[in-house]
């Protein structure tokens, strides 16, 4: 059969339309509005619980510490976008708080009320502060567009929270965070028990990559803290970067005293093994300075030297400490076997459009943002969550406002100390079973702390029944939490 020229052209046009039309449809369907509430995102997942019967709604920004309580620790942090000099002399274009990056270390004693006024001097996109690992009241979480509007240039915002948990934490901007955290808008936060943390020397080792080079406490290469032989030392390691960081110690055996701001139970002495710190995660190491006088805490390319004298850089040990079986068992204090809600957080990846941009994007339970699940809970629920990663890459998962206990990995039950996390490294092919108590009303981001991944859609939310979302993603404040 021979077709006329016109018929041939028509067939060609039809074929072209058949190729282009589905692509155009998917593209169009992926576009998100300029402003939307997270409450309207995706699908509400009640995790097997009864869907919402909250009689009244309280907006998330009213979940605060009573205003009449006097602050114990009070300071102002002024954010700026500028070129600055690292403690080691290198110049860097990024962000500062009170003129430096990392920002000042905030210290509080357990139970004190911390009040931080954030002022934005010159960050055009706006800023916020998120208290990473601290289970602050709902209004104080610092997630732009979720719990507050981004603080524009010349504006300010007051954060108030009670430092209930003793441990190592950090703070960072949660507005355009994949750029602002990378650029240094962050700092350490240490909360100590009233009786002290039980060490003669306490030191911070906050690791951050400036321009792809790892620094410790803002110094290239090495930082040093004074200690005498025989001193017990607690080193608070903070990983502010987007990937897991191996930490190993030369010169003394050590114990992992705490993970993500929670003390471990019965941690044994470790020698010849590295400890991995997830992106956003923290570990506290405790050791005794030996007679030789120096201990080197290696942070993969940077190091903290404790004591006097030199210690050369070393290769990381092959063995890695498995926290699933580290320390001794103790009651976790929640009925994980009889949860009120059970959720799945399956991470995948597929081709498609993300707000009109083609690529291979992350999926949560098979759907791409904004069709991600909204995990819905009621106050007091015991929640179990299975995080399964089949996306081809590792994801450090960070749940705001809560600490979860690890029950099992790949169906192998945890046998060590209760392992409470807020930042959990979930490698490709791994499945974690975690549990937590929904005891902190609010709207909480539950996302990958490899922050560019969050910007690529790897974000879900945990929402309490009866909590309203008055803020908008986008909108006049230009809120972009990721």
Partner 1 sequence: MRVVYRILAYVIAAEVALQAAFMAYAIAGLYIWVQDGGVLDSAVLESEDVPFDEAVGFMLHGINGMMIIPVLALLLLIVSFFAKIKGGIRFAVILLLWVALQIFLGLFGHEAAIFGLFHGIVAFAVYGTAFMAGFRAKRPAPEPAVGNAPQ
Summarize as ranges the residues that interact with partner 1 (CB under 8 A): 2, 4-5, 8-9, 11-13, 15-16, 19-20, 23, 178-179, 182, 207, 209-214, 239, 241-246, 279, 300-301, 349, 351, 358-360, 392-394, 428-429, 450, 452
Q: Which of 213/386 has CB closer to partner 1?
A: 213
Q: Which of 201, 227, 209, 205 is nearest to 217 (CA)?
A: 205
Which CB atom, from 32 or from 209, has the smaller least distance to partner 1? 209
Instruction: CB nearer to partner 1: give 184 or 418.
Output: 184
Q: How many residues does the chain have?
A: 482
Nearer to partner 1, 253 or 359 (CB): 359
Spatial distance between the Cα atoms of 211 and 93, rounded to a whole number of angstroms? 9
Q: Which two tokens stand for residue 298?
A: 């290696």
Which residue(s) pair with 17 in the sheet? none
Q: Min. distance of Cβ 103 from partner 1 in angstroms? A: 19
User: Shortest gap between Cβ of 88 and partner 1 (angstroms)?
Assistant: 14
Shortest separation between residue 334's beta carbon and partner 1, angstroms: 31
* Nearest distance from C-beta of residue 449 to partner 1, angstroms: 10
- Closest separation between CB of residue 19 and partner 1, Å? 6
Distances (CA, A) of 391 to 184, 193, 243, 265, 425: 28, 40, 16, 33, 14
**CA count, 13 A, side-chain hemisphere, 293:** 4
- Least distance to partner 1, CB of residue 212, Å: 2
CA distances from 144 to 96, 176, 460 (A): 19, 9, 14
Q: Which is nearer to partner 1, 383 or 459 (CB)?
A: 459
In the complex, least distance from residue 480 CB atom to partner 1, rounded to whole angstroms: 15
> Which one, of 363, 421, 369, lies nearest residue 397 by Cα?
421
Contact 248, 275 (CB under 8 A): yes
Give residues with Cβ within 8 angstroms of 451, minimum separation 6: 177, 178, 181, 182, 242, 482
Omega cis (within 30) before 102: yes
Minimum CB distance to partner 1 smaller for 239 or for 440: 239
CA distance 247 to 298: 5
Q: Which is nearer to partner 1, 210 or 419 (CB)?
A: 210
Q: What six digits make up the tokens of 93?
A: 């274009």
């Amino acid at each position: 059969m021979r077709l006329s020229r016109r018929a041939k052209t028509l067939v060609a046009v039809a074929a072209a339309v058949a190729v282009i039309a589905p692509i155009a449809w998917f593209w169009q369907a992926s576009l998100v509005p300029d402003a939307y509430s997270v409450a309207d995102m995706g699908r509400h997942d009640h995790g097997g619980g009864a869907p919402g019967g909250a009689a009244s709604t309280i907006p998330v920004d009213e979940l605060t510490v009573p205003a009449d309580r006097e602050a114990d620790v009070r300071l102002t942090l002024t954010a700026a976008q500028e070129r600055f000099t690292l403690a080691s002399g290198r110049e860097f274009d990024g962000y500062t708080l009170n003129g430096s990056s990392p920002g000042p270390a905030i210290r509080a004693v357990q139970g004190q009320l911390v009040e931080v006024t954030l002022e934005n001097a010159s960050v055009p996109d706006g800023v916020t502060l998120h208290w990473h690992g601290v289970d602050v009241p709902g209004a104080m979480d610092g997630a732009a567009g979720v719990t507050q509007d981004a603080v524009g240039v010349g504006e300010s915002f007051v954060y108030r929270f009670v430092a209930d948990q003793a441990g190592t934490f950090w703070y960072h901007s949660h507005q355009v965070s994949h750029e602002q955290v990378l650029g240094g808008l962050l700092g350490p936060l240490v909360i100590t028990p009233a009786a002290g943390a039980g060490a003669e020397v306490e030191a911070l080792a906050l690791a951050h990559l400036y321009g792809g080079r790892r620094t410790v406490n803002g110094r290239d290469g090495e930082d040093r803290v004074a200690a005498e032989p025989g001193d017990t030392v607690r080193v608070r390691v903070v990983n502010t970067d987007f990937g897991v960081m191996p930490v190993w110690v030369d010169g003394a055996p050590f114990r992992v005293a705490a993970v993500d701001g929670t003390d471990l139970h019965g941690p044994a002495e470790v020698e010849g093994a590295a400890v991995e710190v997830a992106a956003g995660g923290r570990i506290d190491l405790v050791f005794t300075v030996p007679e030789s006088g120096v201990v080197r805490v290696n942070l993969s390319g940077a190091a903290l030297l404790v004591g006097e004298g030199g210690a050369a850089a070393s290769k990381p040990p092959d063995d890695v400490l498995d926290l699933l079986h580290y320390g001794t068992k103790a009651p976790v204090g929640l009925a994980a076997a009889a949860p009120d809600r059970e959720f799945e957080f399956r991470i995948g990846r597929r081709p498609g459009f993300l707000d009109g941009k083609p690529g291979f994007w992350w999926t949560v339970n098979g759907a791409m943002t904004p069709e991600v699940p909204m995990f819905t809970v009621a106050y007091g629920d015991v929640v179990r969550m299975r995080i399964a990663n089949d996306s081809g890459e590792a994801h450090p998962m960070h749940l705001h406002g809560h600490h979860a206990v690890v029950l099992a990995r790949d169906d192998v039950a945890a046998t060590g100390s209760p392992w409470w996390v807020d930042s959990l490294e979930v490698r490709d092919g791994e499945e974690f079973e975690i549990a937590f108590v929904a005891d902190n009303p609010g709207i909480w981001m539950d996302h990958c702390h490899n922050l560019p991944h969050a910007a690529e859609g790897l974000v879900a939310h945990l929402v309490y029944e009866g909590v309203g979302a008055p803020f908008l993603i986008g909108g006049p404040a230009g809120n972009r939490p990721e």
